[in-house]
């Protein structure tokens, strides 16, 4: 089977050298492996541009959702109240987690086609002085919208509320002033903007706030404090079996991010990819769902061009041409989504647009 280009928000197309890194078998107890884990933790803090004495990086086995659930189940005490800003599926998922653990929560539900704004959050916080924790999504890949955390988080932090940001699809690809805007817990994963493979998530956590959560976790395997403590006292040892091949591949992906020129250079590539994609698709008759002001450089939602548009057929034809895209995820408007992160460059976007043009030409000739 020929490999195809994944135009999705992760898993995504990875480099040959990242794939190659998975060929080495490590022992989880070996010092060489623990040193790789420690180097990853240090690299993540450097990428976040935070002071290592004030922040730490904690890897968690499992997908991004495992990382988010680790934070939600580990840091909100029984006496706490969590405010969740929701304008897509991933904000709603945090609400599901809170329900499972019996965590008191208030849901701020915003239209999926609109960003969460500071005035929305202010109005709820001012009505509910019992709120102790706040969670929101940065890049909501349900639609591709980019929520303005730089406006919201500083004000929330000023209210002495613990701040949680799901930056799953943005960290490593979009600049985030973690410390400057007051993020206490930021969650992301290996298989997004850093361009590793799926297998573990990670949390960038403010040490003082994390250490205050000792004994709060409602689970064993997702206990964020215990994972942190084990790695601190045992030089990078994971509590339970870790995805060793994925860890080595992620270390390689972090090196390749540096080689590309760092976060700012990758951000510019993603921006360029997204603009080329959106402009080209609009020339082909497809309308972008989200206003350009709020559009992320990660993934773009396109409205079906006609009432009889057959996404399944479109998807299969693109797959046969070497591209895999995403179906839509919102209920109000029929859409599909195309991502442009991973090992994706201008020539790849040009080839995709050409393939779509050829599909349209075939349809017209029928």
Hey, what domains does the chain have and what are their CATH numbers? 5-9+262-365 (3.90.1150.10), 16-258 (3.40.640.10)
DSSP, collapsed to helix, strand or coil, labels residue 137 as strand
Residue 10 is classified by DSSP as S
Instruction: Say what the pLDDT of residue 365 is.
Output: 86
* Residue 160: Cβ-neighbour burial (10 angstroms; 0-12, 13-18, 19+): exposed
Q: Please name the residues in contact with 220: beta carbons below 8 A apart, sequence gap of 6 or more.
A: none
pLDDT for residue 329: 80
100-133 exposure pattern, b = at least 16 Cβ within 10 A, e = fewer: ebebebbebebebbebbeeebbeeebeeeeebbb
Give the tens place of pLDDT for each residue, 233-288.
999 999 999 999 999 999 999 999 999 999 999 999 999 999 999 999 999 999 99
Residue 311 burial (CB count, 10 A):
14
Q: Cα(29)–Cα(103) distance, rounded to whole angstroms? A: 36
pLDDT given for residue 331 in this prediction: 72
Percent pLDDT > 90 in the chain is 95
Nearest to 114 by CA among 338, 288, 291: 291
Bond from prior residue into 268 cis (ω within 30 degrees of 0): no
- List all residues 6 or more positions away from 169 whose beta carbon is below 8 Å from its beta carbon: 9, 10, 138, 139, 141, 192, 193, 296, 298, 299, 341
pLDDT < 50 regions, the chain: none
Euclidean distance between CA atoms 187 and 167, whole angstroms = 6
| pTM of this structure | 0.96
SS3 state of residue 203: strand
What's the alpha-carbon Rg for the chain, to the nearest Å?
A: 21
How many CA atoms within 13 Å lie on the side-chain side of 355? 20
Task: Tell me if 81 sits within 8 A of 128, measured CB to CB.
Answer: yes
């Amino acid at each position: 089977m020929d490999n195809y280009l994944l135009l999705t928000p992760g898993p995504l197309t990875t480099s040959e050298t990242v794939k190659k890194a998975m060929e080495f078998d490590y022992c989880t107890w070996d010092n060489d492996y623990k040193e790789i884990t420690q180097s990853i933790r240090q690299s993540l803090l450097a990428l976040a541009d935070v002071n290592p004495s004030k922040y730490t990086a904690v890897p968690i086995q499992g997908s991004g959702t495992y990382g988010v659930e680790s934070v939600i189940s580990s840091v909100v005490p029984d006496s706490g109240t969590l405010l969740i800003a929701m304008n897509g599926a991933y904000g709603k998922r945090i609400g599901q987690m809170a329900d499972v653990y019996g965590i008191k929560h208030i849901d701020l539900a915003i239209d999926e086609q609109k960003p969460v704004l500071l005035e929305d959050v202010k109005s709820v916080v001012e009505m509910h002085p019992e709120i102790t924790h706040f969670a929101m999504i940065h890049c909501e890949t349900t639609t591709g919208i980019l929520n303005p955390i730089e406006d919201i988080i500083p004000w929330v932090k000023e209210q002495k509320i613990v701040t949680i940001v799901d930056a799953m699809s943005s960290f490593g690809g979009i600049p985030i002033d973690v410390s400057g805007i007051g993020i206490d817990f930021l969650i992301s994963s290996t298989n997004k903007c850093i361009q590793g493979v799926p297998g573990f998530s990670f949390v960038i956590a403010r040490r003082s706030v994390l250490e205050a959560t000792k004994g709060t976790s409602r689970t064993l395997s997702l206990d964020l404090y215990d994972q942190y403590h084990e790695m601190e006292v045992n030089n990078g040892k994971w509590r339970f079996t870790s995805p060793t091949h994925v860890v080595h591949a992620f270390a390689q992906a972090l090196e390749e991010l540096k080689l590309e020129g760092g976060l700012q250079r990758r951000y510019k590539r993603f921006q360029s990819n997204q603009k080329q994609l959106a402009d080209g698709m609009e020339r082909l008759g497809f309308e972008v769902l989200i206003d350009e002001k709020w559009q992320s450089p990660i993934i773009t939602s396109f409205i079906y061009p006609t009432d009889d548009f057959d996404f399944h057929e479109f998807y299969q034809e693109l797959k046969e041409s070497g591209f895999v895209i995403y179906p839509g995820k919102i209920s109000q408007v029929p859409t599909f989504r195309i991502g442009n992160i991973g090992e994706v460059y201008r020539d790849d976007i040009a080839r995709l647009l050409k393939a779509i043009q050829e599909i349209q030409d075939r349809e017209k000739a029928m």
